[in-house]
Chains A and B, each alone.
Chain A
Amino acid sequence: MASDDRVDVDLALVERFRGGERAAFDELVRRHQQALWRMARRYVKNDADAADVVQQAFVRAFRGLDRFRAASTVRTWLYRIAINLALNHVRDRAREQPADDDELAAHAESTRATGPQRIIDGEDQARLRAAIEALPPKQRLVLELRVYDDLPFKDVADLADCTENAAKVNFHYAVRRLRELLGAEVIA
C-alpha cells in the first residue's frame, strides 16, 4: 500500500539521519513541508507566518529526532509539532491583536481558487470558512485533518489526543455544527 510505503520510506530516512546522513533529513523536509505548510496556513493569518511555523517545526524535529520512538508515523509526529507551534502562534497573536470579522473576510478574498466552484459562490465560501473557524478547536482540527489532509481516523485521533471513536464523533459534531451554522440554503 502507498501509505505503508510512505511510512517505510520515512523510517528509513530517520535511520539514515541517525546514522549521520544529514541529506536524509533534507529529504524528509521535501516530503512533508507542503502538508505542514497547508495545515499551518489554515491557522495563521499569512503565508510568511505559515512558513515560519513550518521552519520552526522542522528545526525542532531536527534537534529532537533522537526522541522519535516510532510510536506514531513520522508524518504524524511532524504534524503534532507543527500543530502545537501553529496553535501557539495563534494564541500569541490573539493576545497581541484580537481578530475581527473584516480580517476573516480579507483572508477569504486573498485566497485563490484551486478547485471547481461547483456548489457555493464566493459569499457562501466566506461564510463556510468563517463557520469552520468558529468550530470548537478539537472539532475543527478533526474535520480539517480528515478533509484536507486525508489522514485516517487513527492518526487524527493521535493528533487530537483522543480515541479513534471520539475522533469519529467529533467529526460528526463538526459536520452537524456546520450545517446548523450555514443553514440549508448554502448547500443547495
Chain B
Amino acid sequence: MTAEDRTRALLAAFADDPASLTAAERAEVEALLAHDADARAEAKAVRELLGAVRDLPQPTPPAWDALARSIGDAIDRAGPPSRWARLRAWILRPSIGIGVACAAAAAVGLWIAKRPASEPVLAHVDTPAIDAGAPVAPVVAPPRLFHDDPATAGELADLDQLDDAALDRLAASLGADPVDEIDDDNGGFAALDHDHRDHHAHHAAVAAADDPELDADSDALGDPDLDWVDELSDDDAAALTQWLTTHRSPT
C-alpha cells in the first residue's frame, strides 16, 4: 500500500464517519483537509456517494415475530447437538487441543527417558583365528569353597563352612602355600595377603610381556633353568612333546 493509498483510504473512512478512525488518523486527515482543496472536494464526493448508497431502497422486512417462530421451530426440529458433537466441540477447543498435545509430548518424552538403553551396535568383524587347529581348553568348574550353600555377594562368608581341601586347591592355583590354618587375629587375611603379593608379581610379569619397552630378556620374566630338558631321554622328550601338543594353549 502506497502512502497515497493510505491517505485516500483514511479520507474515505473519515468522510463516512470520522469516529471510525483513531485519534491519530483523524488528526492526519484533518491536517490534510485544512490545506488541500482537492482533498476537501473528494471528501465531499465520497460523503454524497455513501449517502446515496445508504438511501437505496431496502427490501420490505418480513414479520419478525413470524421469522423468530420459524427459527425456533427449525431449532426444535434439528434438536440439540449430539453427544459426539459436544465432545468434538470440547476437543477442538484450542486450550484443550494444546493441553492434549502437551500431554502427548510429555508421554512420548517419558517413554523415551524410561525405555532401556539400546545395546550399542558393533560392527561384526571376522577375526582370523590365531591357530584354528589348536584344541580348545576344557572349561573347569571353580573349586568348591563351601560344604553347604556358598556365600552370595554382599554376605560375609562363614569361615566354619570353609572346605580346607578346596582352600588348598585354590591356594595352589594362585601359587601360594597351602593354607594350614586361618589366622583369626588377622581375620584370615594373612594368607590372602601373601597370595595378593604373588598375584601382583604375576600381573607385573604379564604387563611386562605386553609392554614393548621391555624385551624378553628383562629381569621381569626371570631366567628359567632349562638344563633339565637336555637330560631327558628320547622317550621322555617324545612324551613331553606329545603332552605339550595336547595341552597347548589355544592362544
Contacts and interface: CB of A to CB of B under 8 A. Distances in A.
Interface of A: 25-26, 29-30, 33-34, 37-38, 41, 47, 50-51, 54-56, 58-59, 62-64, 66-67, 69, 108, 110-120, 124-125, 128-129, 132, 143, 146-148, 152-153, 165, 168-169, 171-172, 175-176, 178-179, 182, 186-187
Given A67-B89, A153-B13, A171-B16, A111 B72 contact: no
Contacts of B78: 59, 62-63
Contact of B58 (A114, A120, A132, A171): A114
A175 B61 CA distance: 27
7 contacts: A29-B68, A55-B70, A113-B57, A120-B55, A168-B13, A171-B9, A179-B49
Nearest to A113: B57
Contacts, number: 144
B49 A175 contact: yes
The 7 closest A-B pairs by CB, nearest first: A172-B9, A113-B57, A172-B12, A111-B57, A66-B89, A63-B81, A169-B9
B85 interface: yes
A153 to B, nearest CB: 6
Contacts of A113: 57
A26 B71 CA distance: 9
B93 interface: yes
A111 B64 contact: no
B23 interface: no
B72 A26 contact: yes
The size class of the interface chain B forms with chain A is 35 or more
A118 B47 CA distance: 14
Interface in B1-44: 1, 5-6, 8-13, 16, 20
Contacts of B16: 146-147, 171
Given A67-B92, A153-B20, 6 more contacts: A55-B71, A63-B80, A111-B57, A119-B51, A125-B57, A186-B52
Given A146-B16, A168-B10, A175-B49, A116 B55 contact: yes
Interface of B: 1, 5-6, 8-13, 16, 20, 45-46, 48-62, 64, 67-68, 70-72, 74-75, 78, 80-81, 85-86, 89-90, 92-94
Nearest to A178: B49
Contacts of B70: 51, 55
B48 A29 contact: no
B12 A119 contact: no
A135 B57 CA distance: 19
B64 A34 contact: yes
